Structure 1
Amino acid sequence: MLYEYTFYFANPLHFLLNFYAMKKIFSITAVIVLLIAVFAYIHVNQRLSAVSLNEKTVILEIPKGSSPTKVLQILQEKGVWDDDLAFTLWCKMNKPSLKAGWYEVPAHQTLDELAALFQSGKSAVRKVTIPEGRATWEIPAYLQKSFPNLDTARWNSLVQDSKFAHSLGVEGNTLEGYLLPDTYPFAINSDEESILKQMVAANLKLRDELKDRKGSMWEQLGNWHRVLTLASVVEEETGIPAERPLIAGVFHNRLRLGMPLGADPTVRFIFKNLTGPIYKSQLNSNNPYNTRRFPGLMPGPISNPGRKAIEAALFPEKTEALYFVAKDDGSHTHFFSSTLADHNKYKDIAAKNRGEKK
């Protein structure tokens, strides 16, 4: 036996041939391993670069404290992602910080894009436009198109809740006038309270912007509540932006002289009579909002004025006019006059424009 081993090592040619065979085996193995590694890398890379399954935008919520496993479960339930291995590998490689919130996930997102979205904390929103001059009880109709579950009764209750109003920094006892018309990006999970808070905050931000602007009538009006009160009447009296400062000028003249504002929209507010005729019994109402009977400003706004009407109330046009009447000629504009005699003449012209006979 010893002789055999001695012969094996003593024969160089035999040793080299065996060594070459073993080296060839090792080389082939290495190549196979390398190929497996390459194919595995390509496969994993393909899975990591895959896109989400959703064909349309999907809305989902990531609750607070959600782990990557929980997020994957949510994505699977919503039909966004189903590759457990790719998601798990990606999370281990990148260790993302996924933030809680509501998200709108576009179609065909990569893992990198999904992570960027969930790390942004950018909540899904619904944009809603609230037109100028709407009373608080009219606004839910605009919101319910995007928030069908919005509770009108809850909305109206909060609007009329003086404690809630004061907690938001509102000077009045209701939120009437303090819901600034605008296009808002409301979070998709918004409720009645959060929407009201956002609209009031926008109103008070405008107050802070305008309060110290030179040349305003702030001191004459006294406070923001009275500014909004006058602005709401200006808003309701004309839909022509260029006329608002002039109408505001007429109202300031009347306030200075102690004359009633004589604004029909204040009577409509009392009876929620937005269109159609105003009856004599309504014009004789003892309600303090009836500016056809009582001088000075009403107790509060009759609608939610927009920025232009608020600016008109604070920066009215200087004028001698004390009266105005709609021309009723299709232009939606008004005749302005400084005497009652001229005002009556314009009323006759307006009547003719309406086709009325004496």
Structure 2
Amino acid sequence: MFKEAETRRRKWLVLVSVLSVVVIVVLVGLSFFEPFLVFKNAKILELDKGCTTRDIAFILKDKGVIWEPYSFIFWSKVLNYDSKLKSGIYDLKPVSNMSELLLALSKGGRPKELTITIPEGFTSMDIAERLYNNGIVRDKDLFLKYIKPYEGYLFPDTYNFYEDMQYETILKKFLDRFNEVVPQNYDELAKKKGLTKKQAIILASIVEKEAKFNEDRPIVASVFLNRLAIGMPLQADSTILYALGIHKEWLTKEDYQIDSPYNTYKYVGLPPTPICNPGLKSIIAVVEAPKTDYYYFMTTPEGKAIFSKTLAEHEANLRKYYGGV
């Protein structure tokens, strides 16, 4: 009697064990084909850099690609995809099983697109800083070194960039936009003002920094053109700031003494390169500058330019708005 009971118990244990194995096999099999059972419509999936397999699993669950996250985690380890999943934006189409899903996510999605605005007057240093802060470039100093020779031609506008974008691709965007926007006959227009195209862009960069309002830019340009014509120093504070390589509201006496070819108080003529990347208004202002008798200008605390023909008039305007002198 005891032996019969023991035999029956063992049979039940074997049966339960077999059923358990069958259930596990079925569940594992179902988990492998889970995407086929759940994922019926195409999905857009965005995976940020640094996402772990666990993070991705929960994103897939939230997007309705899988029922639950743990089967994805399990199969990523079994199929050796745990460290192969890549970031990006995926246009996922329905797949038959976990292997196909993991394979798709190991290929890398398209880069994440970022819209970045480069304002008029940004220097190459400003541009490098902004793109670095937004993850477009990884090495700010190396990128700055790459674009620095193109100062003045990195046209300010709103662009679509991608994370970790190639330097040459970024530069091409800026230069293509410059060539697209600046008139094709700009060389000829500059020549009429006694300038080469390069000189006109240098002057435009100074106008960009010195004039706050668009209506003032052509007349500010005329002041500098008049000074160049008689060999008078430009005396533009913005060129000294460029030489200093920092942003500051007021220059000191020591700043004005800096020995740099960009110091237009010490050296007559234009600086050797543009001091920023001017917008179209400043670029056109140089070649459309009216003929004036102005040789001086100052700006009010609000940024409005006040023009003078003589030093005496200029000093009177300074006293009016700022006192002293």
TM-based fold match above 0.5: yes
Give yes or no for contact 2:136–2:165 (8 Å, CA) kept in 1: no
Secondary structure of the corresponding residue to residue 134 of structure 1: coil
Match of 1:345 in 2: 316
Which aligned pairs between 1:1-358 and structure 2 lie closer than 5 A? 50-53=40-43, 57=46, 79=60, 104-105=89-90, 125-147=113-135, 149-160=137-148, 174-207=149-182, 209-211=184-186, 216-328=189-301, 331-352=302-323
Cα pair 1:245 1:312 within 8 Å, conserved: yes
One-letter identity of the residue aligned with 1:248: A
CA contact (8 A) 1:129 1:142 kept: no
| 2: CA distance, partners of 1:188 / 1:222 | 39
Structure 2, gaps ≥5 residues long: 1-35, 50-55, 67-86, 96-109
Q: Check the 8 A contact 2:221/2:285 in 1, yes or no.
A: yes
Could you tell me whether the CA contact under 8 Å between 2:119 and 2:157 is conserved in 1? yes
Distance 1:142 1:273, change over 3 A: closer
Tell me which amino acid in the other structure corresponds to 2:122. Answer: R
1:180 to partner: Cα distance: 0.9
8 Å CA contact retained: 2:137, 2:163: no
Instruction: Name the CA shift for 1:82/1:234 in 2 (closer, same or farther; >3 Å).
Output: same
Deviation at 1:125, TM superposition (A): 2.9
Contact 1:327 1:349 (C-alpha < 8 Å) held by counterparts: no
Q: How far did residue 207 of structure 1 move?
A: 4.1
Q: Are 1:154 and 1:192, in contact at CA under 8 Å, matched by a contact in 2?
A: no
Query: 1-side partners of 2:254 and 2:132: how far apart?
Result: 35
Q: CA deviation at 1:242?
A: 1.3
Letter of the structure 1 residue corresponding to residue 247 of structure 2: L
Q: How far has the Cα of 1:193 moved from its partner?
A: 3.2
Partner Cα distance (1:228, 1:324) in 2: 21
Tell me, in whole angstroms, the C-alpha distance in 2 between the residues paired with 1:139 and 1:341: 40
Compute the displacement of 1:110 (Å): 8.5
Change (3 A) 1:285 1:146: closer
Distance 1:273 1:123, change over 3 A: closer
Aligned with 1:266: secondary structure?
Answer: helix
How far is 1:145 from its partner? 4.0
Q: Which amino acid aligns with 2:320?
A: I
Q: Deviations over 1:313-340 (max 9, x none)?
A: 1211332211101122xx2102101111
CA–CA separation in structure 2 for the residues paired with 1:286 and 1:133: 24
Deviations 1:38-83 (A, max 9, x none): xxxxxxxx99x932355x65589xxxxxxxxxxxxxx99x948969
Deviations 1:231-289 (A, max 9, x none): 11000102211111110111111111211111011111111232133222321233211
RMSD (Å) for aligned C-alpha atoms: 3.5
For 2:290 and 2:47, how far apart are their aligned partners in 1? 51
Please give the alpha-carbon distance, in whole angstroms, between the structure 1 residues aligned to 2:305 and 2:219.
Answer: 10
Deviation at 1:137, TM superposition (A): 1.1
Change over 3 Å in CA distance of 1:232–1:212 after alignment to 2: closer
**One-letter identity of the residue aligned with 1:336:** F
Structure showing greater radius of gyration is 1
Residues 207 and 224 of structure 1 are in contact (CA less than 8 Å); yes or no, is this contact kept in structure 2? no
SS of aligned partner of 1:335: strand
Q: C-alpha distance in 2, partners of 1:154/1:274?
A: 21
For the residues of structure 2 that align with 1:125 and 1:208, how far apart are their CA atoms? 30
Aligned length: 249
3-state SS, counterpart of residue 116 of structure 2: strand
Q: Which moved more, 1:230-239 or 1:308-317?
A: 308-317
Structure 2: distance between partners of 1:300 and 1:179: 13
- Normalising by structure 2, we get a TM-score of 0.65
